[in-house]
Amino acid sequence: MKKILAFALALAAASASFAQLSGNFTWGGSTTVGPIAQQAIEEFQKANPAVKASYELTGSGAGVKSLLAGQYGLAGSSAELNADQLAAGAVATPIGLDGLSVVVNKNVKIANLSKANLAKIFHGEITNWKDVGGTDMKIVVVNRDESSGTYTSFFDIFLKSAYKDIATAYTKNAIVTKENGEVAAKVTATPGAIGYVGIAFADEVVKAGGRELMVDEVAPTVANVIAKKYAGSRYLYLVTKGAPVAGSVEKAFIDFVLSPRGQAIVKSADFIPLPRK
């Protein structure tokens, strides 16, 4: 009887806390985080019917900028926060893991690139597939736009050690795209193309006959990302201005994404849940 009473009291307390969450909220940022955020919002609103939230696909940099300007209460980021963002008060909470998959068109007949050669391709030093063991064919680089967290992450992981300045690291002779799906579509449709996408989007290229490349003979698998064996491993984040405030909708939403149900959403979106401690 005591257990039943305790459960009833806990349920009542939970219901009361849910009832306090209300209002209209616009969040946004990383297009990579987007599928997680949008699915999580849908589930979160079922438990909190007085909350109306949306997530805009603006890119990580634009999302954090809007957060710090007070336009968003929450932003998604697929890149580590930089020194300026941290100094302005941005606080990132990890919500999952991702691997940056290097993808190529179906007529590119190689399976592996070294990290060094990958950097040279995206810098524009290597421009023909024959120079990395492929056939005599022009390399077409498909890149993300500068507001993208994936653009920044790829630089940090693959180019920064060789080319210190992100403004000059990437070749200017590239097809520039806005989001992961567009990268996949351009790589699929363009002979000789190479690009990079979040691990969840690589299937779009593979289904069209393209492939994911190994980097230094390591494949972008879930196991290799978790073990940090794959060079392109990264965290995904929800970002607040200052630490998440107890009792706020943003804190409740972050807690939901970190809950077992939220982590199941991360997995269902084809990303990698945080390892259990």
Domains of the chain, by residue range, sit at 2-97+235-268, 99-233
* Local confidence band at 8 (pLDDT 50, 70, 90 cut-offs): very low
How confident is the model at residue 14, as a pLDDT?
40
pLDDT over 60 at 65, yes or no: yes
Q: How far is CA 134 from the centre of its chain?
A: 30
Structural tokens at position 223: 């196991």
Mean of all residue pLDDT scores within the chain:
92
* Separation between Cα atoms, residue 244 and residue 260, nearest integer Å: 19
pLDDT over 50 at 10, yes or no: no
The mean pLDDT of 186-206, rounded to a whole number, is 94
Q: Do domains 2-97+235-268 and 99-233 have the same CATH topology?
A: yes
Closest CA to 61 of 38, 78, 37: 78
The mean pLDDT of 212-231, rounded to a whole number, is 94
Indicate the CATH number for domain 2-97+235-268. 3.40.190.10
Q: How far is CA 122 from the centre of its chain?
A: 20
Percent of the chain at pLDDT > 90 equals 85
* Separation between Cα atoms, residue 139 and residue 142, nearest integer Å: 10
How confident is the model at residue 16, as a pLDDT?
41
Which one is predicted more confidently, 6 or 52?
52
* Separation between Cα atoms, residue 104 and residue 142, nearest integer Å: 10
pTM: 0.80
**pLDDT tens, residue by residue, 69-111:** 999 999 999 999 999 999 999 999 999 999 999 999 999 999 9
How confident is the model at residue 276, as a pLDDT?
81
With 0-12 / 13-18 / 19 or more C-beta atoms within 10 angstroms meaning exposed / middle / buried, residue 274 is middle
* Local confidence band at 200 (pLDDT 50, 70, 90 cut-offs): confident
Closest CA to 200 of 219, 174, 222, 171: 222
Under CATH, domain 99-233 is a member of which superfamily?
Answer: Periplasmic binding protein-like II (3.40.190.10)
